[in-house]
Amino acid sequence: MKFINYTFLSLIVFLLSSCSRSSLYSGDEKSMLAAEQAAKMENSCLVFRVPVQAGKIRYLKNALSNSQLTPAKTTSLKSQLASTIKTNNDYYALIRSGFTAHFDATQVYFVPDSLFKAFEGGKKDVFLNENNQVDPTIQCLTDEYFLMIQSEHAEQFLLVNKNGNRLDSPFPYKKNTFLPGFKRLLSKKKYMHNQIKWFNEKLIDLSFFHKKLKR
């Protein structure tokens, strides 16, 4: 009985502390926080970091340069390389079409993850055009940006700050999906595009809210 009472008391304390944390900010303070975050979005770029399997491609190309390969091994390596490049192109086509059709909250720039460190170091000509080629004419004209990256699955998107950390509320972080693994298998396109739509709606809500407060 003492154990049950102690457990019940611990539960009450936890619930009270959770309520206390949720009321840390007043309604006005939350509104101001939302406005500040929305203002940051309006003056920044959204950069989508595109996974390109650069290490695997480099390994396969190096392996193919070996003049001692058997014909069978050469055929196998070429097949793996072609498959990897096709996977990259298919993935980029899906995200590009998704943002074109469903995203207009802000301008989006696509950078291959193989060039991301260079981008962080100040390199400008790193963004991909609609043909999945680096195009030096595409420029983000500010040093402030948000990132869209992937979780453990390339099809799951996360919105984070330029340091890779989760943004403060009320910014969206990720779209929770019921049975995500099943839905990815059922249709990668639908799974990815639904996330893009969701992020667009959330960011537009923030932008509208900010403009409304400025009136």
Q: At what angle do helices 188-214 and 27-42 cross, to 10 degrees?
A: 110
Give residue-wise pLDDT tens across range 159-200: 999 999 998 888 899 999 888 888 888 899 999 999 999 999
- Residue 122 CA: distances (Å) to CA of 112, 116, 118, 143: 15, 10, 6, 9
Amino acid 9: pLDDT: 41
How far apart, in whole angstroms, are the C-alpha atoms of residue 186 and residue 155?
13
Give residue-wise pLDDT tens across range 76-128: 999 999 999 999 999 999 999 999 999 999 899 999 999 999 999 999 999 99
Q: Is 90 within a domain? A: yes
Boundaries of domain holding 75: 40-214
Tokens at 55, concatenated = 């290490």
How far apart, in whole angstroms, are the C-alpha atoms of residue 125 and residue 113?
14
Closest CA to 61 of 71, 74, 70, 52: 74
How far apart, in whole angstroms, are the C-alpha atoms of residue 194 and residue 158?
13
Of 178 and 147, which is predicted with more confidence? 147
- Left, alpha or beta for 186 (phi > 0: left; psi -120 to 50: alpha)? alpha
Q: Using alpha carbons only, give the angle 162, 163, 164 rounded to the nearest 5 degrees.
A: 90
Q: Is 28 within a domain? A: no
Amino acid 14: pLDDT: 38
Strands of 108-112's sheet in order across: 108-112, 45-50, 145-150, 157-160
Give residue-wise pLDDT tens across range 193-211: 999 999 999 999 887 655 6
User: Could you tell me which residues come within 8 angstroms of residue 51 by beta carbon, excluding any fewer than 6 positions away?
Assistant: 88, 91, 113, 150, 154
- Left, alpha or beta for 60 (phi > 0: left; psi -120 to 50: alpha)? alpha
Closest CA to 69 of 51, 81, 83, 85: 81
| Helix ranges (DSSP H) in the chain | 2-22, 27-42, 54-64, 71-102, 116-120, 180-186, 188-214
Query: Taking the model in full, what pTM does it have?
Result: 0.79
Q: Is 12 within a domain? A: no
The answer on pLDDT for 34 being more than 80 is: no
Mean pLDDT of the chain: 84
Q: Is 10 within a domain? A: no
Q: Is 208 within a domain? A: yes
CA-CA-CA-CA torsion for 41, 42, 44, 47, nearest 10 degrees?
70
Amino acid 28: pLDDT: 60
Number of compact structural domains in the chain: 1
Q: Is 148 within a domain? A: yes
Amino acid 35: pLDDT: 65
Q: Is 9 within a domain? A: no
Q: Is 2 within a domain? A: no
